[in-house]
Chain A
Amino acid sequence: MNVVVSLDRVSVRYGQQWALREVTASFPAGAVGLLGPNGAGKSTLLRALLGFVSPEHGDMRVLDLDVNTAPVAIRGRIGYMPETDAHVPGMNAVTFVAYCGELAGLPRQDAMQRAHEVLYYVGLGEARYRNLETYSTGMKQRIKLAQALVHDPDLLFLDEPTNGMDPRGRDEMVALVRDIAHEKGLNLILSSHLLPDVEQTCDHVVVLDKGRVAAQGPIAALKGQGAHVYEVRVKGDRHPFVAALAAAGVECHGGDDEPMRVFVPEDRDAQYLFQLAASHHVQIRHLRPSLPTLEDVFAQAVNET
């Protein structure tokens, strides 16, 4: 497996607050999701890889280069799409993207040619002569992607690329990211707290929670990791039943208005649930085997940290 980014016991802190603690992770080639709730340390991890923040300790390598010793060379091979709105003021889209290409080392003519191409690719072809200050939120997201792509990086860092987009725009952005990773052959790390975005675009995932790695690996493998999943509805007081499940090491999420998702270890089956329910005077009114989703992986990983 080709590894494009690796971190070994990396810790970063802002003042007294630890943003990353002893993070050890590998990002293989292809599309990798960086998942985690808000404040988990996803953006900090990307910023550390770009050399924006210095870790207290630990080693980081990007594309076989050491972040400490070769940050400029690394940034020459990376495209970064930041989470927040960002542009160079007073420019139209094509000038801005070409300017970013030149900053990344492209000759002027090539940068301009690629700016046009990339803007068409991200869906801003018709708006490329408009001033960036007049762009909508969705267009600003696309222009950030365009500036990250213009110099044809080997690795893309996309930080919450669908932030603030309407459903249609979000679908289009997800489709673009998927195309970049699967059709154009670029490696990318997609940082997001939106599980469907990651599930639709990535093959691997690294889950961060409270600055630590909660889970990592191929999504398919993580989904199928050692449990039967059931959707369960019960009649009666479910709280003692849920407590009994937890005491028996059976994970359970959801409830109230929606079915509970119960993760029964591989060595047990649905019969076990019926027995436990009966012993706690609860009726199981609905039980359906389900497939594990990334949401389950995420919930399990976050609960374990």
Chain B
Amino acid sequence: MSAEPLIHDQGYRRYSGRRHPHGSAWTVIARNHIRATVRQRRILALLVFSWVPFVVRAVQIYVASSFEQARFLAATPQTFREFLMQQSIFVFLVSMALGGLIADDRRANALQLYLSKPLTRVEYIGGKLVVLLVFLLGITLIPALMLLLLQTMFSGSFAFVTSNLFLLPAIVLFSFIQSLVSAFALLALSSLTGSRRFVAAMYAGIVFFTSALVQILRVMTGSRAWAWLSPRDVLDAVATMVFRGGTPSIPVPVALLAIAAIVAGSIAILERRVRAVEVIG
């Protein structure tokens, strides 16, 4: 009689199975964090609540398409711009809720564990970035695209889409810019500390402080020349440009430079802070 294979060997055995090639660890990080995040009821509730504006807009589109008297509610390209700018508040809240992405690892000294595995710092940061992008695009890009789909379905023709061909790329482009700026800034802040509360406080502080500062400078100087200091005003200018909504409050090159500066600054901070060993000197 052949020996039965052991059901549970409690000793240490060598492993001769398959191994994934290097370069795919970011998917492991992203998958693990996404799974862990959706298990948190607080964040799940926030994500569900983030779709309320979508429901309101969907009803608006339905009513405008179905009832002659409500034609004034019909969607225009600016409807989508306004929707995405409205979602900024949820982008802000979801970003704050995910502030521990790197901070928690710093608190638990996990960076040295991650970076002792066959993965690079770029992969580590990439995995965390994907987590943020999945959730942020999930409350901006996905509902905006679904609104466009609903508009087509309720109106029964492609006329709206064909007459606004720029809309689809505009939605994709602006959603990515909005999400990337938030994601990079949040990751950079998260890498600065081991406390997720401190990250949230810094993030909120930057958003509110810069807006307040721009308002004060506007009142004092009577000029909007300082609007580039506020990320919200910068994104508003980019949205105006992308959705062809008239003259942006900030010159487009300045707005794009400000966005590039936020992303570059965040990358510089991440490059310095995401290390297995922190060297002070």
Interfacial residues, chain A to chain B (CB-CB below 8 A): 14-17, 47, 50, 52-53, 72-73, 75-76, 78, 80, 82, 84-90, 99-100, 102-107, 110, 114, 116-118, 120-121, 125, 147, 149, 151-152, 179-180, 184-185
Given A87-B110, A103-B28, A117-B12: A53 and B116 within 8 A (CB)?
no
A-B contact pairs, 10 of them (CB 8 A): A16-B281, A50-B116, A50-B276, A72-B120, A90-B36, A103-B117, A107-B20, A117-B10, A120-B8, A120-B10
A86 touching B112, Cβ below 8 Å? yes
A89 touching B115, Cβ below 8 Å? no
On chain B, the residues within 8 Å of A47 by CB distance are 276-277
Q: A15-B280, A73-B22, A75-B118 are in contact. List 7 more A-B contacts (CB 8 A).
A: A14-B281, A16-B281, A75-B119, A102-B28, A103-B114, A118-B12, A151-B19
Q: Bound state CA distance, A248 and B238, in angstroms?
A: 84
Q: Bound state CA distance, A76 and B22, in angstroms?
A: 8
Contact for B113 among A15, A87, A117, CB less than 8 A: A87
Interfacial residues, chain B to chain A (CB-CB below 8 A): 8-15, 17-22, 24-25, 28-29, 32, 36, 100, 104-105, 107-110, 112-120, 275-277, 279-281
On chain B, the residues within 8 Å of A50 by CB distance are 115-116, 276
Chain B interface secondary structure, helix, strand, loop or mixed? loop
Residue of A nearest to B112 (CB): A82
Q: Bound state CA distance, A13 and B18, in angstroms?
A: 39
Q: Bound state CA distance, A107 and B18, in angstroms?
A: 7
On chain A, the residues within 8 Å of B13 by CB distance are 117, 152
Contact for B110 among A16, A88, A149, CB less than 8 A: A88
B28 touching A99, Cβ below 8 Å? yes
CB distance from B75 to the nearest CB of A (A): 42
Residue of B nearest to A53 (CB): B277
Residue of B nearest to A116 (CB): B8
Residue of A nearest to B16 (CB): A152
